[in-house]
């Protein structure tokens, strides 16, 4: 009981500070709000800050690659700034004189953001910028592994906010050590919860009694058909799959390849640094990647070289390896390679034709990743339309590196985000 009271009071004090800051921030005009948003964005786009944050992210979480973290932090932040630029969030934002309707923007209040260790800086910054644009305050509950990263990032943020005399405590984090109890209480006392990460956290948010936005599970499947540019498709898949050692829920997990180009496409993937494992090697890898039916955290988001060392793949073979490939035909819990892997490992399925490819993809989605997205490399635009109409997905990515495209890109029209909703298919309130 005492612990419960202590947790309630601790969060209550933090939320009260956030409310006071938000009350002051709510009075800002649009230009002042945009100045705050830009200042916070600079805290991570500053090259020196970004390098230190990215180094810390990899060293403390053990996930990902420093250079890719740097690129991700910058790219995702600048992309969101582009999306938010000229968006009006203060006062009257829309008026329909014919219908006599006026739309006025109002803040939510205090936003609680629960963020993952896979993106301990990029995701919080994304949540923060969106919250601030609406004149909200925000309290971030990072994963325990990502706490040090966010604490350092918050120091940089406050340095920039102090320069423009923004309200204190506009952005806060939970006290160390971060715990499930503190996070649950934060969900209850805030005005809106945004959760990116485990499905357990998403379910907790939805049952907190507070309006919540949660994301679904990724397990991206990409079809490679007989009309596509095989070299281009292989290059894009390699770039996406190896980026940040596959920390993104949008990186390719399964490829479904039409059989009459199967052998040639495998060769193209091998030219990009892929290694196709034999059955014995596949079985050895399975034992390393999964433990008691769950992904082995010690292997997640590690380089292909490190994974090779874990199951003693020939050293000469592994030093030049960018990603690993295994052939698969089954789908479901008895075939773990058909699920999300969060590592530079691709499952390859062979399809008789496009209809068969759709059937395989549908089975995979219904096992894991329903609602998230699907990709296709093709010269037949009608096939991408078929996927959008027939399969349970919120996004179809066409002829693009999936991890770069799904969450927004400077080369497509999707908005920048690190939180992919999966609609009602993924039991989410957003898509």
Phi and psi (nearest 5°) for 122? -65, -45
The Cβ-side half-sphere exposure at 329, using a 13 Å CA radius, reads 5
Q: What is the mean pLDDT of residues 308-322?
A: 77
Taking residue 355's Cβ as centre, other Cβ atoms within 10 Å add up to: 9
Q: What is the pLDDT of residues 102-124, one digit of tens each?
A: 999 999 999 999 999 999 999 99
Residue 320 reports pLDDT greater than 90: no
What's the confidence (pLDDT) of residue 5? Answer: 62
Residue 378 reports pLDDT greater than 60: yes
Residue 162 reports pLDDT greater than 60: yes
What's the confidence (pLDDT) of residue 1? Answer: 38
What's the confidence (pLDDT) of residue 429? Answer: 83
Task: Tell me which architecture the domain covering 220-402 has in CATH.
Answer: 3-Layer(aba) Sandwich (3.40)
Q: What is the pLDDT of residues 221-251, one digit of tens each?
A: 999 999 999 999 999 999 999 999 999 999 9
Helix (H) or strand (E) holding 137: strand 137-142
Nearest CA-CA partner of 412 in 88, 119, 83, 122: 83
**CA torsion angle for 214, 79, 342, 340 (degrees, to 10)?**
50
* CATH class name, domain 2-214: alpha beta
Report percent pLDDT > 90 for the chain: 89
Strands 294-295 and 290-291: antiparallel
What's the confidence (pLDDT) of residue 431? Answer: 78
- Is 249 among the catalytic positions? yes
Task: Please check whether residue 7 is in contact with residue 181, taking contact to mean a CB–CB distance below 8 angstroms.
Answer: yes
What's the confidence (pLDDT) of residue 315? Answer: 59
* Distance in angstroms (rounded) separating the CA atoms of residues 130 and 153: 17
What's the confidence (pLDDT) of residue 123? Answer: 97
> Residue holding tokens 């635009």?
381
Can you give the pTM of this predicted structure?
Answer: 0.94
What's the confidence (pLDDT) of residue 317? Answer: 66
- Confidence class for position 179, pLDDT limits 50, 70, 90: very high
Longest Cα–Cα distance in the chain:
72
Give the sign of the dihedral formed by CA 172, CA 178, CA 182, CA 184: positive
Domain ranges of the chain: 2-214, 220-402
Considering 249, 308, 394, 422, which one is annotated as catalytic? 249
Helix axes 230-242, 259-271, angle to 10 degrees: 60
Q: What is the mean pLDDT of residues 3-10?
A: 80
Query: Of 89 and 293, which is predicted with more confidence?
Result: 89
What's the confidence (pLDDT) of residue 2? Answer: 47
- Residues forming a β-bridge with 138: 111, 171
Q: What is the mean pLDDT of residues 399-403?
A: 98
Q: What is the mean pLDDT of residues 85-93?
A: 97
Rg, C-alpha atoms of the chain: 22
């Amino acid at each position: 009981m005492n612990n419960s009271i202590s947790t309630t009071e601790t969060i209550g004090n933090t939320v009260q500070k956030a409310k006071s800051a938000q009350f002051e921030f709510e009075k800002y005009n649009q230009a002042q709000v945009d100045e705050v948003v830009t200042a916070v964005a600079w805290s991570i786009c500053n090259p020196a800050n970004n390098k230190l944050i990215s180094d810390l992210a990899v060293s403390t979480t053990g996930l990902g690659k420093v250079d890719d973290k740097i690129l991700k932090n910058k790219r995702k932040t600048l992309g969101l700034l582009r999306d938010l630029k000229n968006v009006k969030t203060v006062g009257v934002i829309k008026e329909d004189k014919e219908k006599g309707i006026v739309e006025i923007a109002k803040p939510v209040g205090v936003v609680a953001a629960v963020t993952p260790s896979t993106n301990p800086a990029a995701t919080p910054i994304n949540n923060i910028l969106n919250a601030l644009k609406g004149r909200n305050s925000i309290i971030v509950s990072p994963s325990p592994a990502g706490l040090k990263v966010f604490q350092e990032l918050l120091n940089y943020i406050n340095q920039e906010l102090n320069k423009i005399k923004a309200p204190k405590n506009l952005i806060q984090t939970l006290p160390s050590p971060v715990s499930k109890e503190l996070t649950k209480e934060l969900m209850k006392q805030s005005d809106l919860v945004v959760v990116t990460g485990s499905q357990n956290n998403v379910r907790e948010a939805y049952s907190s009694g507070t309006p919540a936005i949660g994301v679904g599970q990724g397990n991206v499947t990409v079809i490679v058909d007989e009309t596509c540019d095989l070299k281009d498709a292989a290059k894009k898949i390699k770039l996406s799959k190896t980026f940040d050692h596959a920390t993104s829920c949008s990186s390719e997990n399964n490829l479904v390849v039409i059989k009459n180009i199967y052998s040639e496409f495998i060769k193209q993937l091998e030219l990009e640094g892929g290694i196709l494992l034999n059955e014995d090697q596949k079985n050895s890898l399975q034992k390393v990647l999964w433990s008691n039916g769950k992904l082995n955290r010690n292997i997640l988001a590690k380089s292909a070289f490190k994974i090779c060392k874990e199951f003693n793949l020939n050293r000469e073979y592994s030093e030049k390896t960018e990603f690993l490939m295994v052939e698969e035909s089954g789908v479901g819990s008895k075939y773990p390679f058909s699920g999300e892997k969060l590592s530079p490992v691709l499952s390859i399925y062979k399809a008789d034709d496009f209809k068969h490819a759709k059937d395989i993809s549908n089975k995979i989605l219904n096992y894991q990743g329903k609602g998230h997205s699907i990709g296709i490399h093709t010269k037949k635009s009608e096939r991408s339309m078929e996927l959008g109409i027939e399969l349970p997905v919120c996004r179809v990515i066409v002829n693009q590196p999936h991890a770069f495209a799904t969450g927004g890109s400077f080369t497509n029209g999707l908005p920048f985000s690190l939180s992919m909703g999966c609609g009602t298919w993924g039991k989410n309130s957003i898509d």
